[in-house]
Amino acid sequence: MPIERLLPRLFLIALLAVLALAGWQWRHGAPLSANLMELVPGSTPDALELRAEQRIQEPMNREMLVLVGHADAEKAVELARQLSEKWQASGLFEKVQWNVQADLPALREQLLRGRLAMLPPKDRTEFIEHPEAFIQQRVQSLFDPFGGFSLVPSQEDWLGLTGRIQNGQPMHGSVQLDIGSGALIARADGKSWVLLRARTRADAFDMRLPLHVSALLDEARQQASASDAQLLAASGLLYAAHGQQQATREITWVGGGATLGILLLLLLAFKRWRVLLAFIPVMVGMLFGATACVALFGKMHVMTLVLGSSLIGVAVDYPLHYLSKSWSLKPWRSWPALRLTLSGLSLSLATSCIGYLALAWTPFPALTQIAVFSAAGLVGAYLTAVCLLPALLNGVELRPAQWPLKIAEALMNARSRLLTRVGTPVLLGMLLIFCAAGLLQLTTRNDIRQWIAAPQSLTDEARSVARITGYQPTSQFFLVRGADQQQLLERQTSLSQRLDQLVTQGKLQGYLSLNQLVATPAEQQATRAALDTLPAHWQPLLALGVPPEVLNNELANLRALPVQSIDAVLAGPLGEPWRLLWLGSNAEGVAGIVSLQGLNDAALLREQAQDLPGVQLVDRLGDLNKVFAATQISAAELKLASCVLIVLLLILPFGLRGALRVIALPLLAAVCSLASLGWLGQPLTLFSLFGLLLVTAISVDYAILMREQIGGAAVSLLGTLLAAATTWLSFGLLAISSTPAVSNFGLSVSLGLAFSFILAPWAGRQHESRS
Amino acid sequence: MNPFKTLVALALLVLTPLAHAFDLQQLSDQLAKPGVIHGAFVQEKQLRSLPQPLTSKGNFVLAKDSGLLWLLDTPLKQDYRITAAGIARRDTDGGWQMLPGKSAGAEQNRLFLAVLQGDSSGLQRDFDVQLSGDAQAWQLTLVPRSMLLKQVFKQININGAALVQRIELLETQGDSTLLKMVDSSSAQPLSDSERADFAD
């Protein structure tokens, strides 16, 4: 038989080609990614918005804030210094900073140069409108011993403009500069906390970095507790490290558990070591899936791997299709068994692929990846099962154990006895009542937080760091656009006025906006113009003994100061906190970010942007939650569409009536699962819906098996039982995941599988005549 | 000369002053004794470009357990208060207005209190401290240790007897401030109005 020799050879050549491709893809190490943001819908096509978002997220993913706390401030400083030296030497960090090394000459220089451009709005208004009061306050401050030290000596700035710029700088949380050591110290809970900032060389999504950083931190914690100190840390890196460790653990559990369970099942049922070869399609499937994923998306997300590991249970169903025929086919030979089941196998592949690929049309890149991974994986497993495995099993005569068949027969008998007492319509009625009551209790919940399984300890610690330091960056921000710098700063000023109100009401902790740092060109001109009125009001300064020529000289210097652009001000040391916020010029004009501290009420923020032209609130998480809700509806539509496709496909072998019956059972199973979620008090999430979408596609397979009835009802049920058991072994294990999204998915698939199995026998022909 | 004798002579030279020295601990104890000090002050701020210093005068109350009242009288009237809670200024209708805490300012005021109260442990952290003289006439010289402080202060000199009498701040930029405490006395407790000022 030439075809039975040709197929395995052709397949091996194809397999070698895929292996070579995979080898090339992995040449620089694993093409894996852990960036959660890659998995959620990219709802922002706007390049500027995207860039702004990256700017805001970058520090969260690269920086770590560490607080070293000790009852004795000096010990805390010393520990922070040691820690910083050690970390700097580790080579993981670009910069580890525990003290301020202020370049005072540069600061003085910028303050003097920016006297007109950087004067805070309130002081500018007073300077222009009430010059006499301005001078009076200056005189007062010259005698004030507690005004704080001014960086610029009085005689270089007789009007005290630099002092006002210094005082007008937004407060940076509740940390204080310790001028002795230069450390930034906050006091809370009876301890002095020294702030340490570490900036890594790569970001959190470099696969190795987060684990290294987390290990260094753990080591530092031990060291700290040995000297009675406490360490608190907050960083996106730590979440990434945790997520990675968890993903690895779960892949091991789900993948390993499913593999072991399936192998054990195969051995127990078929009693032949060679039957373990049935696992080859699974491995080839995983290879195909991963290769297709990397080829299409450049890399694969760890979440795809976690969810994709459930494919093991589905892929093993293909060999099971013909292996299970060994209970009826005597003697069992691989190629004839395959030929008998080939049409069913192909149908099953087609329906499963339709189900998985339906996921690809949701707006979630995560699901698109999973869909591609799974569809390619199924094709790989199918091809192996059809082309290679029969050749490997050639000559094996299967004499399977009889106990599984006895179970299946017992189940069929139990069912028949039940049906003789209670008719199908009554059972259906009871089932529908169960469903209706369950559905009534069903609640929905959608939140991006379901994607993240952050442990309580990490979030608690981040909250403590925010409380102690006052640094509480929010992910929302405003994006402000303008035709030029003048317009941009004007628009930011309008926004600032509204935000200031929120700050005084205590609803917002603070914000950073470029207009806090530099005045518009027009305002700078106005300040300059006000200089002309000054000589009429500076009598109090003359009265102190300041010579008139000194003051005239000062006036000339101020007039000579140039109008300063945003870029010029940002270049100086005072511009540092704002540098990230300036997006520069683009085709439409210029743009800047207004970053926020300590507010998460998106509705309140959105109000602030109303009727302000060029001002836009960017709230990725809020937008995402909306996308989640909207997707739920489109997912339901997708489900129906995929069912129509499957019906069309099944009309060919089964006719319209048969096709409808075959599709009705998985749909009913899905409704039953929904109802069960309701009874269990579990919320319906987008992920449980996706799970049900998938289970429909998989369980069509069971209905097909039962419909075809090759080898009798009991043997078919046994085939279904084995298929369902293996699939459940892998999906059911997902339910143990600590990521709510993944465990939700696992739970709904498990429920769906159970109901599909129970309902599958009704796909058989004989009952049409009976009922 | 016998090298041994030289060594002994040198050792004596070094040891003798130490044996009888008035040390920092004694100074701290001495300055920490009075619970409340009342006095007047004259502040002379010497700016490089001015021919004569900016002079201001007033009274102060330093209470060990409460803080400092600094009542500026001429050339303008203005009351200040430093307590654990921060710095406050008396506004026009007599109430205390807390000044927003400025990090550098707050730190400087901690120093100011440490100097007035003779808290040398607080000072030794940030300065190289040298003491000369005796309990009746001593001088404390503070030279900043850290780079940051060095960019602000060159040196601080404090003179006194039973109480602090004179504080001189030499700034790196060339300005200097001289604070003279006159008629300081620890004889009187806080008056009711002073107690009220610290209380609210």
For residues A582-606, give the mean pLDDT: 87
Q: Rounded to an integer, what is the distance from CA A189 to the centroid of its chain?
A: 33
Structure tokens, A514: 């470029």
How much is the mean pLDDT over chain A?
85
Which H or E element spans position A177? strand A176-177
| Domain span at B98 | 23-199
Neighboring chain B residues of A178 at a CB cutoff of 8 Å: 107
Residues A148, B151: C-beta atoms closer than 8 Å: no
* In the predicted structure, residue A769 carries a pLDDT above the cut 50: no
Amino acid at A123: D
- A496 confidence band (pLDDT: 50, 70, 90): very high
pLDDT of residue A357: 84
To the nearest whole angstrom, how far is the Cα of B81 from the nearest Cα of chain A? 9
The answer to whether position B15 is within a domain reads: no
CB within 8 A of A82, min separation 6: which ones?
none
Tokens in use for B172?
């790196």
Question: Which residue in chain A is spatially nearest to B105 when comparing CA positions?
Answer: A148
Band (A527; pLDDT cuts 50, 70, 90): very high
CB contact under 8 A, A154 and B100: no
A481: left (phi over 0), alpha (psi -120 to 50) or beta: beta
Facing residue for A546 by CB, picked from B50, B145, B179: B50
Residue B14: per-residue pLDDT: 45
CATH number, domain containing residue B45: 2.50.20.10
Angle subtended by helix axes A713-734 and A236-270, to nearest 10: 160
Tens-place pLDDT, residues A50-87: 888 888 887 777 888 899 999 988 889 999 999 999 99
The answer to whether residue B134 sits within a structural domain is: yes
Query: What residues have CB less than 8 Å from A140, skipping those under 6 apart?
Result: B76, B78
The lowest-confidence range among A258-272, A616-630, B122-136 is A616-630
Residue A176 has pLDDT above 80, yes or no: no
What does the DSSP assignment read for B3-27?
Answer: HHHHHHHHHHHHHHHHHH---HHHH
**% of chain A exceeding 70 in pLDDT:** 94
For residue B12, being part of any structural domain is answered with no
Does A88 touch chain B if contact means CB atoms closer than 8 Å? no
- E strands, A12-110, are 32-33, 63-70, 93-97
Beta carbons of A145 and B70 less than 8 Å apart: yes
A interface mutation test: which of B43, B46, B49 has the most A CBs within 10 A?
B49
Residue A191 host element (H or E): strand A191-200
B36-94 residue pLDDT tens: 889 999 999 888 778 888 889 999 998 888 888 989 998 888 888 887 777 888 888 88
How many beta-carbon contacts under 8 Å exist across A and B? 103
Q: Are strands A582-586 and A589-597 parallel, antiparallel or unpaired?
A: antiparallel
CA dist A462 and A590 (Å) reads 35
pLDDT band at residue A18 under the 50/70/90 scheme: very high
What distances in angstroms separate CA A239 from CA A61, A211, A254, A364, A467, one per listed residue?
A: 9, 10, 22, 22, 19
Sign of the Cα pseudo-torsion (A632, A638, A642, A648, in order): positive
Beta strand B176-185 with A300-301 is unpaired
Question: Alpha-carbon distance A298 to A33, whole Å?
Answer: 10
Task: Say whether residue B80 is in contact with chain A using an 8 A CB cutoff.
Answer: yes
User: B178: which chain A residues are within 8 Å (Cβ-Cβ)?
Assistant: none
pLDDT value of position A770: 37
Chosen for mutation from A74, A135, A146 (greatest number of chain B CBs closer than 10 Å) is A146
* Alpha-carbon radius of gyration of chain A: 35
Contact A180 B146 (CB under 8 A): yes
On the 0-12 / 13-18 / 19+ scale of CB atoms within 10 A, A248 is middle
What average pLDDT does range A555-580 have in this prediction?
A: 91
Q: Which of residues 532-551 of A touch B (CB under 8 A)?
A: 544-547, 550
Question: Which pTM value belongs to this model?
Answer: 0.71
User: Is the separation of the CB atoms in B60 and B73 below 8 Å?
Assistant: no
Chain B hits for A148, CB-CB cut-off 8 Å, are 102, 104-106, 108
> B15 or A99: whose pLDDT is higher?
A99
| Cα–Cα distance for residue pair B145/B139, rounded to 1 Å | 19
Phi-psi category of residue B89: left, alpha or beta, with phi > 0 → left and psi -120 to 50 → alpha: beta
Is A198:A64 a contact under the CB 8 Å cutoff?
yes
Dump pLDDT digits (tens) for B165-198.
998 888 887 888 898 988 888 888 888 888 888 8
Per residue in A119-145, pLDDT (tens digit) is 998 899 999 999 999 998 888 888 877
Nearest to A632 by CA among A672, A683, A680, A690: A690
Residue of A nearest to B70 (CA): A145
Q: Between chains, do A179 and B148 touch, taking CB under 8 Å as contact?
A: yes
B152 with A149: Cβ contact below 8 A: yes
Integer angstrom CA distances of residue A59 from A37, A170, A203, A474, A622: 15, 19, 9, 12, 21
Neighbours of A27 (CB within 10 A): 8
Range A358-376 average pLDDT: 84
What is the maximum span of chain A, computed from C-alpha positions, in angstroms? 119
pLDDT digits (tens, 9 = 90+) for A237-296: 888 788 778 877 887 888 888 889 989 988 998 888 888 898 999 999 999 999 999 999
Task: Write down the ipTM of this complex.
Answer: 0.77
Q: Which amino acid is at A576?
A: E
What are the two backbone dihedrals, phi and then psi, of residue B173, each rounded to the nearest 5 degrees? -75, -10
Alpha helices in A144-203 (DSSP H): 161-168
Q: Average pLDDT of A188-211?
A: 82
pLDDT band at B163 (very low <50, low <70, confident <90, very high): confident
Instruction: Mention every residue, 6+ apart, whose C-beta is less than 8 A from residue A210.
Output: A34, A204, A237, A238, A240, A241, A244
**3-state secondary structure at position A204:** coil
Give ∠ CA A722-A728-A729 in degrees, rounded to 5.
Answer: 90
Long-range contact pairs involving A421-429 (C-beta distance under 8 Å, separation at least 24): A423/A771, A424/A762, A424/A767, A424/A771, A425/A771
The one-letter code for the residue type at A621 is L
Give the model's pLDDT for residue A397.
80
* Mean pLDDT computed over A559-564: 92
pLDDT of residue A635: 74
Q: Which residues pair with A590 in a beta bridge?
A: A482, A585
Query: pLDDT at position B10, please?
Result: 47
Instruction: Name which of A543, A548, A534 is nearest A143 in CA terms.
Output: A543
Predicted local confidence at residue A453, as pLDDT: 65
DSSP string, B45-72: EE-TT-SS-EEEEEEEEEETTTEEEEEE
- Which amino acid, one-letter code, is at A295? A
Sequence-separated (6 or more) residues with CB below 8 Å from residue B86: B98, B99, B101, B106
| pLDDT score of A232 | 92
Q: Is the pLDDT reported for residue A759 higher than 50? A: yes
pLDDT for B32 equals 80
Q: Cα–Cα distance between A294 and A288 in angstroms, integer?
A: 10
Residues 117-146 of B with CB under 8 A from A: 125-126, 145-146
Closest B-chain CA to A101: B148
User: Is B70–A155 a contact, with Cβ atoms under 8 angstroms apart?
Assistant: no
* Alpha carbon A516 to its chain's center: 33
B23 vs A: CB within 8 A: no
d(CA A380, CA A280): 10
Residues from chain B that touch A100, judged by Cβ atoms under 8 A, are 148
Residue, of A396 and A157, whose pLDDT is higher:
A157
Q: How confident is the model over A309-365, as pLDDT tens digits?
A: 778 888 898 898 888 888 888 788 888 888 888 888 898 899 888 888 887 877 778
Given this model, what pLDDT does residue B150 score? 82
Distance of residue A547 Cα from the nearest chain B Cα, in angstroms: 8
**pLDDT value, residue A592:** 94
Which residues does chain A have within 8 Å of residue B41's beta carbon, measured at their own beta carbons? Answer: none
Instruction: Compare CB distances from B102 to A100, A143, A167 and report the shortest one's residue.
Output: A167
Spell out which residues of chain A touch residue B180, defining contact as CB-CB under 8 Å. none
Q: Is B52 on the interface with A (CB under 8 A)?
A: yes
- Check residue A167 and give its pLDDT: 81
Nearest CA in chain A to B41: A145
First to last CA, chain A: 45
Partner-chain contact A142 B45, CB within 8 Å: yes
pLDDT tens, residue by residue, A630-646: 777 777 788 788 888 88
Q: Is A530 exposed, middle or buried (0-12, 13-18, 19+ CB in 10 A)?
A: middle
Beta-carbon contacts of residue A216 (< 8 Å; ≥ 6 apart): A87, A90, A92
B24 touches chain A (CB under 8 A): no
Does residue B2 form part of some domain?
Answer: no
Contact B87 A146 (CB under 8 A): yes
**Is the residue at B5 inside a domain?**
no
Residue B102 clears pLDDT 60, i.e. is over it = no
Domain total of chain B: 1
**H or E segment to which residue A254 belongs:** helix A236-270
Across A206-215, A342-351, A657-666, A675-684, least confident range: A206-215
Residue A719 pLDDT > 60? yes
What is the maximum span of chain B, computed from C-alpha positions, in angstroms? 78
User: Can you give the pLDDT at residue B13?
Assistant: 45
Number of Cβ within a 10 Å radius of residue A647:
17
Contact between A178 and B101 using a beta-carbon 8 Å cutoff: no
DSSP letter for each residue of chain B: --HHHHHHHHHHHHHHHHHH---HHHHHHHHHS-SEEEEEEEEEEE-TT-SS-EEEEEEEEEETTTEEEEEEEESS-EEEEEETTEEEEE-TTS-EEEPPP-HHHHHHHHHHHHHHHT-HHHHHHHEEEEEEEETTEEEEEEEE-SHHHHTTEEEEEEEESSSEEEEEEEETTS-EEEEEEEEEE--S---HHHHHHHH-
Q: What is the mean pLDDT of residues A573-580?
A: 87
Q: Which two tokens stand for residue A379?
A: 């094709």
Which of A167, A178, A545 is facing B52, going by the closest CB pair? A545
Query: Is residue B18 in a domain?
Result: no
Are the beta carbons of B69 and B79 closer than 8 angstroms? yes
Instruction: Answer yes or no: is B144 within a domain.
Output: yes
Residue B155 lies in a domain: yes
Residue-level pLDDT at B190: 87
Chain B nearest-CA distance from A214, in A, is 32
Mean pLDDT of chain B: 79
**Cα distances (Å, whole numbers) of residue A724 to A104, A507, A680, B111:** 72, 54, 22, 77
Look at A146 and B50 and tell me if their CB atoms are within 8 Å: no
